[in-house]
Amino acid sequence: MSAEPVNGHSPSCDACDSASCPAKGQRPDENDQQYQQRQALARRLCRIRHKVMVLSGKGGVGKSTVAVNLAMALAGAGKRVGLLDVDIHGPSVPRMLGLEGTPIQVCDGTIQPLEVGGVRVISIGLMLPERDAAVIWRGPMKMNVIRQFLADVEWGDLDYLIIDSPPGTGDEPLSVCQLVEGADGAVIVTTPQAVAVADVRRSVNFCRQLGLPVLGVVENMSGFACPHCGEVTPVFGSGGGERMARDMGVPLIGRVPIDPKVVEACDAGTPFVQRDADGPTAKAFAEVVRPLLALAAVASPAAVAAPGSDTLKETSTMRIAIPLAEGKLALHFGHCQEFAFLDVNPKTGAVQGTETAVPPAHAPGVLPQWLSQKGAEVIIAGGMGSRAQGLFAEQGIQVVIGAPAKTPEELAADYVSGTLEVGDNVCDH
């Protein structure tokens, strides 16, 4: 790993030139030990450019499979990647990567991650005395070990840290959100059936309550592709993830079919995207990883102070773009009169600034680039063609479709509070 500065920071905190760095000074409400812990954490995290959580509202949806293959796909794209498994009670990452039984080394008090396929990996499963050992810990112990995984592991300089969390909205994902200030967002995994989708809605609300952007939803096990004839059978139903994403105002970034080769790869400890890189399932993962790759090209989603921190940073805003016609939402995106840009505090919902601008002449590919240059992170629209949605995904911009014809202020408030009701896409072409 190089010593190249990341996020404007240098590996040495003494050389850091960022006045807002959380390691700069001791807070009035913390003792020396607490300050040293926070400084060690900030020193480590400032060398990691993008931090992405992988969440699910329900177990058994293939969340760890998605996390492992996302990390490997990013590494395959030439990125420096770490994979942190914070599933304390059911760690499965070591098995999926063929790392079971491999010892962890500690040098001068620093934990050395294992490396496979260009990805640096840490999991509690690598530290258990035996594979079937049960971890019986309460919340504070989990918080401490997750802090140690973040602060005491020699991650080095990374482009991405993928954090695989256990199902639900309990101690582990909450601890990560509290410790990792300014995380780029979450990828949420579901399956098509209604019982899984209902739980994923809670995960979306969890992210919104903590100010964590939702980068997108992955519908895993989205139909079974017959290995003989290629026919796809929706064994778990179809479209549940897409409908949920539309209802909740978050993007659906991919559908991954059931593939027996994925099961074989996981059991064999071989990342699927490397084992069958040209297959349809690997191509589906390639689509899922595109919004993560787009983070490197545009400003990351607004960084929000973690619960328990002093105050929100002044720059912690989300820029929402809304196409207008006569002061309200224009139902046909590409033919609006102007755009409203609202800078919104994602934690309180307060509008901290507004701007209107006339878009350039409508032509394919023009608006995504223009809106990205204007700093838009979320677009609320009445309708939008599928090609345009793909172009915005490439720019790392979330798109909400099917919104009602309300004022920009009403739409922004509904979106931040999670109460935005959306309908059909009025111009899907």
Please report which residue ranges of 180-279 form alpha helices under DSSP H. 194-209, 240-248, 260-268, 272-275
Q: How many residues does the chain have?
A: 429
In the numeric block, which tokens belong to residue 367? 């608006």
- Give the residue carrying structure tokens 């994923």: 200
Q: What DSSP designation does 283 have? A: H
Beta bridge partners of 321: 341, 379
Report the helix count and the strand count for the chain, using DSSP H and E. Answer: 13, 17
From first to last of its 429 residues, the chain has per-residue pLDDT tens of 333 444 444 444 554 555 556 566 777 777 888 788 888 888 888 899 999 999 987 777 888 989 998 998 898 888 999 999 988 777 888 888 988 888 888 888 899 999 998 899 999 888 775 665 555 555 577 778 888 889 999 999 999 999 998 887 777 788 888 888 778 999 999 888 777 777 778 888 888 888 888 898 998 887 776 767 656 677 776 677 777 787 778 888 888 888 777 777 777 667 676 666 666 677 788 888 888 888 765 433 333 333 333 333 334 678 899 999 888 888 777 778 899 999 988 777 788 888 999 988 777 678 888 888 888 888 998 888 767 777 787 677 888 888 888 899 999 888 887 778 777 776 655
Q: What are phi and psi of 87, to 5 degrees?
A: -80, 95
Looking at CATH, the fold of the domain delimited by 318-417 is given as Nucleotidyltransferase; domain 5 (3.30.420)
How many other C-beta atoms can be found within 10 angstroms of the C-beta atom of residue 43? 18
CATH 3.30.420.130 residue window(s) in the chain: 318-417
Please report which residue ranges of 77-159 form alpha helices under DSSP H. 93-96, 139-151
CA-nearest of 32, 46, 43, 142 to 88 is: 142
**Please, are residues 357 and 341 in contact by the beta-carbon 8 Å criterion?**
yes
Q: Which CATH superfamily is domain 47-294 in?
A: P-loop containing nucleotide triphosphate hydrolases (3.40.50.300)
CATH 3.40.50.300 residue window(s) in the chain: 47-294
Interatomic CA distance for residues 29 and 426, integer angstroms? 52
Beta bridge partners of 50: 160
CA neighbours closer than 13 Å in the CB half-sphere of residue 207:
31
Interatomic CA distance for residues 208 and 158, integer angstroms? 26
Cβ burial, residue 62 (10 Å; 0-12/13-18/19+): buried
In the numeric block, which tokens belong to residue 396? 């790392």
